[in-house]
Amino acid sequence: MKKFLLGLIVLSSTLAVSEGFTRSEQIQISKQFATFQKAIKSKDIQTISNMIEYPLSNDIGSDDINEDDFKDKDSVIENKTEIIKSLKELTLPKVNSETNKITKYSKKGNAKTCDFEVNTKFTDSNDSNFFDNYGITPDKNFVVTASYFADSGADVDGCASYNTYFFKYEDKKLKLYKEIALP
């Protein structure tokens, strides 16, 4: 009976791990994310538009962008300046090309400015609490969240906002498929 229970524990922990991205997939995602960052920095709208799943599902609280700007590849190319501006914070996490590790970006605020942080996360179906917050079915995703907050005691309006970007990795291609921006 003990061997049977131990076998179930090992099997269930193996299944939980296998639901997420493999190390090889994480490396490929990191490389492709670095390509996406480079395209944003160099304003290469062709590469950016090829790395978006259309129509991009978004809940954007920005006056600069509306949902129609992301309905298809032509609309992204047509609204190049606004699109690049809206994705700029995705360029802040650093991808180490030798280790393919992604380092978060953070900037400490002061009494007049918000703290700012950009984190990345590889998610899977075990992250149901995380996905419940966004109304998304738990699945394998690469997620980037840019957060503004007042941890340093700042009394600044607008310090409680964030943008979250959801990427899928299917057929060995990384694609941005959802953006949520909350004021």
Query: In this predicted model, what pLDDT tens digit does every residue of 79-124 receive, in sequence order?
Result: 999 999 989 999 999 999 888 899 999 998 877 788 899 999 998 8
Higher-confidence residue: 60 or 11? 60
The reported pTM is 0.80
Chain centroid, CA 61 distance in Å: 17
Helix extents (H) in the chain: 2-18, 23-41, 45-50, 73-78, 80-87, 128-132
Is 60 exceeded by the pLDDT of residue 65? no
Tokens of 175: 């694609």
Question: Phi and psi of 153, rounded to 5°?
Answer: 85, 15
Residue positions counted in the chain: 183
Helix (H, G, I), strand (E, B) or coil at 166: strand
Higher-confidence residue: 182 or 138? 182
Could you tell me which of 56, 66, 30, 28 has the C-alpha nearest to residue 178? Answer: 56
* pLDDT tens readout for residues 6-18: 333 333 333 334 3
